Structure 1
């Protein structure tokens, strides 16, 4: 195991230490086995979350579907299938477009840490409002779920995160040894 002092030592050719990124630590710099294990762990976790979310959405949608007249169910299911396919592609494209833009102006390590802490703050009122909106959205929940799955799938399959690009640029800017 690498000691803390050696992991904070300046990277080869740089006079400043490699910044640690949320969830990736300093593994992003060398992109070795620990980095890919972090990425694989994240992927497995997100796939499990997507599967549980899909089960929740199917159950919620079935509850709504049961109250529809039988003549309307088939038509509504067809509409949901088409809308879900469109939403899946739309979610994928939205994330890829956002990723491309984020690569043009990647965040610094401090901005990445700040964004992570901002995302973890939750207001109880917003959570309750979110639950109420989920119940109101039950008729179209499969479409929302498809968009989220498309977005997350695209996010998981990028070669490099914008935070890594930003950290690499920050390292090059703040290094006097290059």
Structure 2
């Protein structure tokens, strides 16, 4: 769904001050081959991440369920399928709502870079878990890992299949407010 802002590309003969956006650079302005190559690269990366996440979560769950009696295993598997389907839809819906809200008040290019920097700082700090602590958490999460993976697959799929990112909408609005030579 294209936002109203995306269709209002500023009519600049030779735009001089096109801001660069994280992972898209300045390709978002013309949305040419480099832009779609960047989006395709992101999609391939997300597909690989989702495949690995699903493989790991199903492997953990398989190890967890191997200790159950056959009757309990069948009930658990049925519950897992229902929970995973619900989580997949929930992840999709949650991301689409978040995207719609972000389009209502898109970030400026400066705000996009600040958010990217803050995200990178937070991601670096969370990698400091002890190896044993991480294994314990995975063991505790094994019964619900497939549903968690389904939620992330739904969320990432919805995030990757949008027509336009809020950062692009914000940059277009910023360009309208700051025309070249002003």
**Is the 2:27–2:34 contact (alpha carbons within 8 Å) kept by the matching residues of 1?**
yes
Residue pair 1:90, 1:150 contacting (<8 A) in 2 also: yes
Q: Distance in 2 between matches of 1:175 and 1:131?
A: 53
Q: TM-score, normalised by structure 1?
A: 0.87
Distance 1:70 1:144 in 2: 24
Q: What residue is the counterpart of 1:136 in the other structure?
A: 140
Residue aligning to 1:63? 63
Q: Which residue of 2 aligns with 1:123?
A: 125
Deviation at 1:123, TM superposition (A): 1.5
The residue that corresponds to 1:32 in the other structure is 32
What's the Cα RMSD here?
2.0
* 8 A contact 1:84–1:143 mirrored in 2: yes
Contact 1:14 1:177 in 2 (8 A): no
Q: Which runs of 5+ in 1 are unaligned?
A: 1-10
Unaligned ranges ≥5, structure 2: 1-10
Structure 1 segments of 4 or more deviating over 2 A? 11-16, 124-135
* Number of aligned positions between the proteins: 168
- Please show how residues 22-171 of structure 1 align to structure 2 within 5 Å: 22-121=22-121, 122-124=124-126, 127-128=129-130, 132-171=136-175
- 1:125 shift after superposition: 6.7
Q: How far does residue 54 in structure 1 lie from its aligned partner after superposition?
A: 0.8
Q: Deviations over 1:77-123 (max 9, x none)?
A: 00000110011011000000000000000011111111111111221
User: Which is bigger in relative contact order (C-alpha 8 A, separation at least 6)?
Assistant: 2
Alpha-carbon offset, residue 177 of structure 1: 6.1
- Closer/same/farther in 2, CA of residues 25 and 132 from structure 1, 3 Å limit: farther
Superposition deviation, residue 12 in structure 1: 2.8
CA distance in 2, matches of 1:135, 1:117: 32
Residues 96, 159 of structure 2: 8 Å contact kept: yes
